[in-house]
Structure 1
Amino acid sequence: MACMRRPDLPPPPPFSDDWALFLDVDGTLLDFADAPHRVHVDPDMLEALDVLHRRLDGALALVSGRSLEQLDHLFAPLRLPAAGLHGLEHRGDGPAAKPPTPLRTLRGEARTVALRHPGAVVEDKGATIALHWRGNPDAEPAMRALAEAAIAWLPGYSLQPGDHVLELRPKGANKGAAVARMLDEAPFAGRTPVFVGDDHTDEHGFEAVLAHGGIAVLVGDRQPSCARHGLASPAEVRSWLVEAAQP
């Protein structure tokens, strides 16, 4: 699918009870923080998600690079339908496969690099590893060099760039595949799919919902994108959800 530069994306259409709503988390529902564990979850947004989940008869899901365990911790007491680790984990599936030995070796090397660059973070997700430098932009060259070298001895893995992060994850796992899988299952099947996301990793999700006649909503001004609607920031996404949840 061709993605274009669309600097002035219109806002999403009015909320509809026949939607299947798929939401990215970091940079979409939550503002970025220097480290993944330092994000803030707004209580009003939690309440809105609960209301909308029930209004959509359960067809509201989180689709995130975070693990299901992390999502459940962040959004407690809610336990929403979800796909974690870019689709490697799905609610109801068994535990994720053990990471390969080379990935465990990389984890140690990455932590050594992070110690030399205070503020850099190595996020160990089990089957994937994310190298963050938002807290220390000077760490980017070292983190990027390590990740790019690691791909040579991690068969079946690819590099996924993001906002101040590089993630090593198995090939074939992406948010679009996760969305497509859920659209074949209740309660999502037969509804108009809507995906809201901000990052490069969300483009697969946009493509999936557009292929099903749905709505793709970009958060922020990243270009180019396949999205055809936009919201300016996570704060605007939260306001949009809270307003939609009003009786």
Structure 2
Amino acid sequence: MGSESTDDAAPPLIEEDWAVFLDVDGSLAEHAPTPSDVRIDPQLMQALPKLAELCGGAVALVSGRSIQALDDLFAPLDIAAMAGLHGLERRGHGGAHAAPEMGADFLELARQAEAIAAEYPGALVEYKGGCLFLHWRSAPDAAASFSSFAERVREQLAGHRLHPGAHGIEIRPIGVDKGIAIAAFMEEAPFRGRRPVFIGDDPADEPGFAVVNAFDGVSVLVGGDRPTSARYRLDNPRRVRQWLFASLDRKQAA
């Protein structure tokens, strides 16, 4: 990572020549006990098409969720550009890159993880395309068992890495992260040649901040004070939404 911590400055308002990349959980929307409990603010639903219009279509969601889960969460909006599973799958204006199929060995490990989760009400397992997510936000007692399981999985899944978080562990293929996904978008229309901004809230978003900084872009950490390479900060998802609304209001006033 970069600096010890970001300064507390809010980012400048969005310009028409920017490319906007948005994490979802903890950034656009507040965390909830389970991913299925997350709700998108109705005002944000109205604002996202206007944001895409402002930036010439150069707006993408970049999330740990799958693209299908993002489509379901934001329905009935039709968001053209998304990176799901931290970039393992990606959909852009020019086409889509699907996640690989899951093999029998991987599915067996997912079944073992689900057996552990069954012992801790509120614990959750998600898996798709070679990514395995172990969540204990609603079941903190599951942390030790899930962590031990993840260490065992590290030895069985060649080519995968563990990505610990505050309320879970992600097990995903090496060479997959949000920074790589953003860099791929920046090579394509309508993102190419624009100044990127990326909004994210947790350590999995740091590769995205690094790539955006390399483009002399605007990297924004949402929430707590921790080591980060982000150059700006917003306190919470509500402040993120207010920042987006203010950018659109300025455009309308102009």
Give structure 1 stretches of 5+ with no counterpart.
none
Given the alignment of the two structures, is residue 196 of structure 1 paired with residue 199 of structure 2, yes or no?
Answer: yes
Given the alignment of the two structures, is residue 111 of structure 1 paired with residue 110 of structure 2, yes or no?
Answer: no
Aligned partner of residue 3 in structure 2, secondary structure: coil
* CA–CA distance in structure 1, aligned partners of residues 225 and 124 of structure 2: 24
TM-score, structure 2 normalization: 0.93
Give the equivalent residue in structure 1 for 2:58.
Answer: 59
Select which of 176, 179, 194 maps to 2:179.
Answer: 176
Deviating beyond 6 angstroms after TM superposition, the runs of 4 or more aligned structure 1 residues are none
The one-letter code of the counterpart of 1:44 is: Q
Is the Cα–Cα contact under 8 Å of residues 198 and 222 in structure 1 kept in the other structure?
no
Give the equivalent residue in structure 2 for 1:121.
Answer: 124
Give the equivalent residue in structure 2 for 1:165.
Answer: 168
Between the two proteins, the alignment pairs up a number of residues equal to 246
RMSD (Å) for aligned C-alpha atoms:
1.2
More moved, 7-16 vs 66-75: 7-16
In the TM superposition, residue 76 of structure 1 has moved relative to its aligned partner by: 1.4
Is the Cα–Cα contact under 8 Å of residues 22 and 62 in structure 2 kept in the other structure?
yes
Aligned partner of residue 116 in structure 1, secondary structure: coil
Is the Cα–Cα contact under 8 Å of residues 131 and 166 in structure 1 kept in the other structure?
yes
* CA–CA distance in structure 2, aligned partners of residues 5 and 199 of structure 1: 15
Is the Cα–Cα contact under 8 Å of residues 123 and 137 in structure 2 kept in the other structure?
yes
TM-score, structure 1 normalization: 0.96
Identity, in percent, stands at 46
The one-letter code of the counterpart of 1:76 is: A
In the TM superposition, residue 119 of structure 1 has moved relative to its aligned partner by: 0.9
Is the Cα–Cα contact under 8 Å of residues 6 and 233 in structure 2 kept in the other structure?
no
Given the alignment of the two structures, is residue 19 of structure 1 paired with residue 31 of structure 2, yes or no?
Answer: no
Is the Cα–Cα contact under 8 Å of residues 24 and 62 in structure 2 kept in the other structure?
yes
Give the equivalent residue in structure 1 for 2:210.
Answer: 207
Select which of 141, 146, 149 maps to 1:143.
Answer: 146
In the TM superposition, residue 112 of structure 1 has moved relative to its aligned partner by: 0.8
In the TM superposition, residue 63 of structure 1 has moved relative to its aligned partner by: 0.4
Give structure 2 stretches of 5+ with no counterpart.
none
Deviations 1:60-107 (A, max 9, x none): 100001111011111112222111110110112253211232221111
Aligned partner of residue 125 in structure 2, secondary structure: strand
In the TM superposition, residue 125 of structure 1 has moved relative to its aligned partner by: 2.7
The one-letter code of the counterpart of 2:243 is: W
Is the Cα–Cα contact under 8 Å of residues 196 and 218 in structure 1 kept in the other structure?
yes
Given the alignment of the two structures, is residue 90 of structure 1 paired with residue 90 of structure 2, yes or no?
Answer: yes
* CA–CA distance in structure 2, aligned partners of residues 95 and 195 of structure 1: 23
Aligned partner of residue 106 in structure 1, secondary structure: helix
1:201-240 correspondence runs (5 A): 201-240=204-243
In the TM superposition, residue 238 of structure 1 has moved relative to its aligned partner by: 1.3
